[in-house]
Structure formats: structure tokens, C-alpha cells
Structure 1
């Protein structure tokens, strides 16, 4: 989260859980490439005496994607897959439909894992227990059960980056088609078992041994759904259940492979590709790759209808943290926990300097208010800037956390307190904003939108 000058308050985790209305959180702190400590705080479900402990499992949502990427790369190492071959060469149950984009540049695993395949569908909502759950063909063909449109290529593969769960569902199906094994079995055999991740699973429905200590998800209003936890139809893109400590083991193993450690789960050159940005953009293969040199770090988050999580590990120092929460409001809490660990471990190039800033004055709202068409970054079509109760806010329709207040600093840079992103504005001759570029407090552009 962005800090403001003059703020120097300290709180306990319990105080911040109450402040944000987040029932529970699982945290694992990594120091020097080893887990320094891990624990759980709060409750598995709001209003119940169900304490979170270090073994409580949470849905990890998109933190599934780096594990899927590792499984692909392990099969590249075995000589079974090639990152740069048309995925249709491997797929048996379904094919990426050919069109004017794929005829010139076919979809490859490298493009899928780096969000550069030109594929649609950002992600799918999680289902309540007992509801019908879409299968892979439902997801890819966009049936009514999927709740989304079909996964298709609508821009040139290998070009600009656009986050797509569709690419990871393709990777999941491809692994199953090539090996003849279910995705959850492959994950157990190749990753979870070897790393001793005893509290992690992709099995659906959730196995009985996990049901006794699982965190219920909570929506924007803080309510848990009937049945408690949720079910994700897209295992390879968002179906993992895990603990912070288990996921930290996976993060450490990925870094060890990157460093060429003995008995690593992946050959060093492939691990280095995994953690190297693929052309322009922010993603390697599965992981986000942020920074360079001794500031280089691997990062990924997870977000669905009841859970929010964030994970970061520096490749040079081996310092980092994994945070898993059981509420949509956890997106605010995991940012604060990241900031606290970054401060304690002196993370390089992570904490922006506290800013001298204020909410955008009402007299300036006219410059920014309006509707903007998103042309880069996410599949959602529209970003809205609007005033509510005298406060200028932004929202992306279709995203879970919306209506965030907008601040402006002395240099005229816009930002939100809830993350490390800042918005740089291009103005028209009339003084109104014409284009918004969202950056991660560096020169890595995350999103671009132009006024309609």
C-alpha cells in the first residue's frame, strides 16, 4: 500500500483484521531462502469460534498459475513438451480455433504462460458448494455453466500482454491430454509430494482431511456463502487450496531451481526462463518478474469471490512473504502485511517513499471524471472515474474491488492507497485527462485506458 507523509502508526494483525472486516489470515515469512516463521490469525469463518492456525487451508485462486507453469516446464525438461510449438499439436479434446491471428502466429505454451497469447477470458468465478461446476470444455467453449464467453484469440499471439486465465486452462487440458493423468494427480506427483506440501491440494471436491480446517470465503459484504468454502472450476488457473507455509515451500523451491541448487525440481535454465520477463511486460512463465539485479523478485497474487492473497520472494536475498486471506477485503490487508515485512527485512526497491498527497480536490474532479476504454492490461472493457460523496473514485467494472478513492501528489501523479500503483495522465488541450497509464511505481506499465 502507498504511505503518506506523517503516518507512522503501528497495529497488531488482530487490529487490522477487525479494521478491514477480514475474518482470518495465514502468513509465512521467508528469510534467506528458508521459512522463518508461519502462523494463522483470526477466524476461519466470521462470527464462529473457529481459529485459524498454521495448517488452515485457504483458496489460493490465481496462485495456482505458477504451479501449472512449473508442471509444464518439468515436462519440457522430460522432452515431452516444447514451449514454442503450437498447442494444437498436443491438445486432443479441444483445439484453439484458427483465425486470422493464429494463422500468422500460432498459440504456444510460452505465450500462454506469459499472458501473451492474445487469449480472452481473464478468469472464472468460484462456485458455491453443491452448485454444478463447469468442466474444462465448458470453460473453453463458454457454455452457460461457465458464466463466461468462449476462450478465443482476438489479438496477435506473442504481442502485447493481457492477463488470461484461458491460457492456463489450455495448459491444464494439454497436460492431461499428453500424460493421460488428471491435473491434480500430476500436481501431487511432481510438485506437492516432493516438496512435502501436505496441506495443499487441487482435488475437487475438497478431500475430507482438509475439510476440518478450511477457511470459509467472505464476499464484499463480509458474508460467507452456504457451505463455507468455494469451488473453482479452473484448477490450473485458480483451483489451489493451500497454506501460507506450504506455498512458501513452493516459492523457495522455485528460487532454488533458479540458483541451480542440487536436487532442484527443475533444470536451472528452465527455471531462469520461468523467472525472466518474456519480452515486454511483467510476466515470466507463470510468475510475475519484478525488478532487476538485487531487486529482482518473483511475485503472484490470487483473487476470487471470497479470498485474496499475495506472494513475493527476492531472488538475491531469499527474503519474502506469503499472505492468504479469506475475504475480498483481504486485498487491503495483504498489502499492509507486505509493507510491514518489507520494512522489517529492508526490501530493496519495494516501498515507495511516503508521499505528500491529498484526495483529489473537488475543484479538479472535472479533469478526470468520465469513462475510459481499457486498451492494455486486462480484458475488462471499461474504467470509470466518478465522484461519490465528494470523493473522486475509480472502478473497473467486473473487478471485485472497486470504488477506490484517488489521491494526487505534488507532482500531479494519481494513486490509490490500496496498492503500489500510480497513474500518469496525458491531458487534452481542454485540460481534461485523455489517457491514463497505470504503473507499478516503476516504469512497468500495468494498464492503459483512453477516454471514450
Structure 2
């Protein structure tokens, strides 16, 4: 009679299990290993729920992909409170400026086909509605300059709310004629510009002969299997769309744009992850290579330096931080928070979306990085050199330079014609401004730095576009020869320099302002 001891029984079971594993084919062993290595996203999930409750965020969705497969997709909260629709993995969110990455990809497909070149003057592809420069040859501004925000374009954005304003959305050609002005020489400085991506979307339309939405659908979304992506909300996708919510968590009326190439896209988080896998060269089965490796690399190589850790390429930022290099674009506007990040060395893509401004998308991404990137942040700290103190930048002066004191007169140039303008710089350095026959207005929040004066006034620009809302006027002047000249931007929206002029952003409209010393006998 053989005695059976529990310890011997366990040994026999273990040996049997090992023999079974050794008999398995290698692919099965790989699958078991991959399954065992699945990351645990429970802490991130709990973090999302906690932060959403703290900030009263209606809905968020997240997608994480790595090495050619989706690891995690999930929706949280309620995508549409009024209709009682819960957020899920397929919920489509407004993306704001993440749209620019996709406009850039569509543009690069045309570069790949040889139909345009990055160093073409952008005017070559705009037809009669070309750019106008106040300081240089307009043809010096290339497609590359526009794409990396170094073209010198003035600020121009227009949002239109609800059905009553939808009919007011102008064709892009009209917006170019009115606001396609260059205020700086191309390549001099990086200044983030939404109007530029409206231009690039228009280039895509003109070269392809398709609408902007159709061009992105056929060139990007469909080939990459992005079935829950569209410009605005595509037909049949309405039930997947998250509502946008405002600061008091009120539903914001649906709004459209004069510059759709800058901000008009909707997508689900998994669709952004699908795009990211393609871009990193780790595509999912069935995805077509709409851009080859050389043209994808061109979007992030030779990017324009914007700060010590960041550069802006063609529709993507290149970040060196936390011990890794990553590509990203974020988006924020009324009712929108969006983040798309790709880490090429790890084949990692993270997409986080929310339907209110200020949702913790960057913080959620940080938690996912901590989970998946070995030595995240700690690696950067270990390899960083000793900190070096840099000289503090002098604070801007709050009064106009003494040599500018006195009266200046000239013209604000608008698409409806010239408007007389006056600037009076007082002995104490304060400044007053006047447009046409309006009252004098104090130039507020004045900053003078590097020979440049900026300030805000409540003078109203008398054009149909600007009369749509009460607005502030930001003047940005520089001494050019014997003239003070530069951009005067009509601005309407929340939390502005003149207080809350509108609960949501409405417009920013640029105009050329040029002033010269007034005759001593000229009374204002």
C-alpha cells in the first residue's frame, strides 16, 4: 500500500502542469505570457471616477493601445445628460485642436502624391482668395510655415452657435479675403494660429475637389478603420455624439466654425488609438498605409523649437520629457477637453477625451504613463544634469515709452473699409484710444516689452462680423520707421481682458492698425 501525502500530490500536480506547458505550441505560450503581462488599469479607473466627481465632469472616455493592439477602451459617466445616454468606448467627442493632426495627415497624403509640396507658397493653392502681407511678400509664407505656426498670420477664429447662426458661417474663401493677413515675416516666430489650419483644410478641399469632411473620410477615417470619426457629427452617428457642457454644466448649443480644419472633428477614443497605432508603424489588421514611413517622419522631423522640451512639426508637437520622446496634440474649447499622445519607442498610444473644458485629460494620461512606461519621470530625473539658474525675464512695463508720448492718428483697415483711429499717450505713460467718432477709451492692461506695446480697449470695430457680439479690441503695436503699426484684434468670449463679454468664445478678428504722429493743430 502506497501512502499519499499532500505535499507529494502538489509536486505531482506541478510537474504535470509543467509537462503540459512544454507540450504547448509556441504561439500558445506567447498568448499565455501576453495575458499574464496585461497591465492592471484599476487604479487609473478609480482615479478617473474620483476626479470626474470632484470636478463634475459629465463624461470621459479613454483608450490605450500598444504594439499593434488595443489594451483598454472604456467610457465613464453620461455623454448626454438630457437624453440619458451613457458614455461608452464608442462615444464620439468634439476634439477641438486635435483636429489639426488629421488635417495635417490629409495634407501629407497630397504631398506624398506629388500634388503639393511643403515648401510651396500657400497662396499657390488658394486661388483668388490669397493671403496679403503688411510686412513682406505674401508668397514667402509656405505650406510648411502655416503647418508649424510660423507663417506670421494674424489671429482669426469665428464660432457660430445654434441653428440661428449656422447660416452665418462664411465660406473659407471669404474668411481668407477678410482675415488672411500676415503681420510678421514667415519663419521668424512660432505663434499658434487656428486660422492657419483653416487655410490648410481649404487647400485640401481645393486640391482634392472634395469637401473637407469628405476628404478626411475617404483619405483618413475609412482606410484606418475609424468608424466613429467625422467632421462635425456625420450622418448616422448622432446617437454616439457626446454633448458639450459649459462652466455651470449647462448644455452648450451645437456650434460650428468658419475654420473647420482647425477644430471641427469628432472621434471616439478607440479611433484615436487606431490612428496612433498606424502612425507609429504598428497598425491593426486591415488598416491601409495612407502615409509611408518617410512622410510620417516628415511630420515630426525638423520641428520648430517652441520651448526647451517641445517642438512643433506638421500638426504634431514633439515632446522630450519624463525620460521619453512623445508626439502629441491637445484640444480645449467650450465643452471640450482632448488629448492624443504617442510614444514611438514603446509603441504606445493614449487617448483621453472629455465633454467639458478643464476635464483632467492630461492628469489621466500621466497616470497611464506611470503604469506603462518604466522609469517614467524618475528616469528623467536620474539623467538630468544639475539645474542651472537662468536670469529672470524682466517684467513688461505697464506704461507706454516716453518717446511715444503725444498724439498719433491713422487708420484701422477693415474689410468694409478704413476707419479713422487715434492714440494719445499721456505724460504719465497711460494711453487713450479712439475709433471713428466713438468716445475715447483707456488702453487697459498695457504691456511694453522689446519695443512692442500691447493693450486692450473697449472700442468697437464697426463691421458686420464684429457687431455680432460686444467685444474688446487688443492692439499690438511696434514702431516701424515713423509709424506705430501692427495687429488690432476684436475679441469676444469668456474670461477676457475686459471681463466676461460672452459665456463662450465667439470670435477673434484681426485688422491692420497704422498710426503716425498727428499734426500739432489736429484736435481729437
Question: Could you tell me the TM-score, scaled by structure 2's length?
Answer: 0.60
Alignment of 1:250-329 (within 5 A): 250-256=275-281, 264-281=289-306, 282-291=311-320, 295-329=324-358
1:220 Cα offset (Å): 1.9
Aligned to 1:218: 245
Give the SS at the match of 1:316.
helix
Aligned pairs for 1:15-414 (under 5 A) are 15-46=50-81, 49-102=84-137, 106-121=140-155, 123-125=157-159, 127-132=161-166, 133-142=169-178, 150-202=179-231, 204=232, 206-226=233-253, 229-256=254-281, 264-281=289-306, 282-291=311-320, 295-330=324-359, 333-346=360-373, 373=447
Does the 8 Å CA contact 2:157/2:258 hold for their aligned counterparts? no
d(CA) in 2 for partners of 1:199 and 1:243? 6
CA distance in structure 2 between the partners assigned to 1:310 and 1:374 by the alignment:
34
**Cα offset for 1:12?**
3.9
Bigger shift: residues 44-53 or 90-99: 44-53
1:426 corresponding residue in structure 2:
none
Deviations, residues 50-71 of structure 1 (Å, cap 9, x unaligned): 2111111111111110111111
Q: 1:256, CA displacement in angstroms? A: 1.3
Change (3 A) 1:401 1:308: farther
User: Is the 8 Å Cα contact of residues 44 and 367 (structure 2) preserved in structure 1?
Assistant: no
- Alpha-carbon deviations, 1:232-257, whole Å to 9, x = none? 34221111011011111112211218
In structure 2, the CA distance between the partners of 1:151 and 1:222, relative to structure 1 (3 Å rule), is farther
Contact 2:148 2:190 in 1 (8 A): yes
| 3-state DSSP of counterpart to 1:125 | strand
CA–CA distance in structure 1, aligned partners of residues 449 and 220 of structure 2: 37
Q: How many residues align?
A: 349
Which secondary structure state, in structure 1, belongs to the residue aligned with residue 52 of structure 2?
Answer: helix
For the structure 1 residues 95 and 10, does the alpha-carbon distance in structure 2 shift closer, same or farther, using more than 3 Å as the test?
A: closer
Stretches of structure 2 that go unaligned for 5 or more consecutive residues are 1-42, 382-394, 399-444, 457-490, 498-524
- 1:107 deviates by 1.1
Q: Deviations over 1:156-215 (max 9, x none)?
A: 11121110111111111112122221111111111101001111011x5x3341111211
Of Structure 1 and Structure 2, the greater strand share is in 2
Whichever structure has more helix as a proportion of its residues is 2
Deviation at 1:263, TM superposition (A): 5.5
Offset of 1:350 from its aligned partner? 5.2
CA distance in 1, matches of 2:217, 2:448: 39
User: CA offsets per residue over residues 375-426 of structure 1, 9 Å max, x none?
Assistant: 89xxx978xxxxxxxxxxxxxx9786899xxxxxxxxxxxxxxxxxxxxxxx
CA distance in 2, matches of 1:127, 1:318: 39
Distance 1:271 1:350, change over 3 A: farther
Aligned partners of 2:257 and 2:227: how far apart in 1?
A: 20
Map Cα deviations across residues 412-448 of structure 1 (whole Å, 9 max, x no partner): xxxxxxxxxxxxxxxxxxxxxxxxxxxxxxxxxxxxx
Q: Could you say which residue in structure 2 is the equivalent of 1:422?
A: none
Go from structure 1 to structure 2 and tell me whether the alpha carbon gap of 1:232 and 1:244 turns closer, same or farther (over 3 Å shift): farther
Partners of 2:280 and 2:318 lie apart in 1 by 12
Q: Which structure has the greater CA radius of gyration?
A: 2
CA–CA distance in structure 1, aligned partners of residues 371 and 165 of structure 2:
44
What is the deviation of 1:87? 1.2
| Distance across 1 between alignment mates of 2:448 and 2:223 | 42
CA RMSD of aligned residues (A): 3.3
Q: Distance in 1 between matches of 2:56 and 2:250?
A: 10
* 2:86 aligned counterpart, secondary structure: coil
SS at match of 1:209: coil
Question: Using the alignment, how far apart are the partners of 2:97 and 2:134 within structure 1?
Answer: 28
Verify the 8 A CA contact 1:257 1:268 in the aligned structure 2. Answer: no
**Cα distance between partner residues in 2 of 1:10 and 1:217:** 22
